[in-house]
Amino acid sequence: MKYVSLISPNTNANNSTDLISICKSGHSIGPVIVSDGYLFVKKGFRYYFISYNDADKIFRRVRRLHANICCGDGDIELEYLVISAQGRELMEVALPGKKAARALIDELNKKAVNLDTSAPVKSNDSDSEALQ
């Protein structure tokens, strides 16, 4: 397995036993591993990681996909975890469902108390709230 930093992916990550043991000691929810001090995302044969201190915001994003099903119309909700740092979104990770996404945000709030896990407010939402 190769460990790649989300902050500086072009530099060689230190694949020390400390990083490996931190990853293995974490709690896995889908492809995301929440551990003490770091968040890991498994993609293929790589683990992407970011320190909670380096992340600006880690939040949940829900996208609705309109689906025409044989018995009618419906919306399917897709859950994502968005990791942003240095003022930009670094990674968007698909999650297995709503229950897993909620559990992941709860786990992040326990491990990284000072991390902002609230979704950003859309500009349209703030305009509609101002009108009311």
Q: What is the pLDDT of residues 70-126, one digit of tens each?
A: 777 788 889 999 999 988 999 999 999 999 999 999 999 999 888 988 888 876 654
- The answer to the question of residue 6 being in a domain is yes
pLDDT digits (tens, 9 = 90+) for 10-58: 766 556 778 889 999 999 999 999 999 999 999 999 999 999 999 999 9
- Tell me the residue range of the domain where 32 lies: 2-118
Closest CA to 89 of 123, 121, 59, 46: 59
The DSSP element (H or E) to which 43 belongs, if any, is strand 38-43
Instruction: Decide: helix, strand or coil at residue 57.
Output: strand
* Separation of first and last alpha carbons in the chain: 53
- The answer to the question of residue 12 being in a domain is yes
User: Exposed e or buried b for every residue in 24-56, given b needs 16+ CB within 10 A?
Assistant: eebeebbbbbbbeebbbbbeeeebbbbebebbe
CB atoms within 10 A of CB 100: 15
- The answer to the question of residue 109 being in a domain is yes
- The answer to the question of residue 84 being in a domain is yes
- The answer to the question of residue 92 being in a domain is yes
Closest CA to 55 of 22, 122, 7, 127: 7
How many CA atoms lie within 13 Å of 3's alpha carbon, on the beta-carbon side?
19
State the total domains in the chain.
1
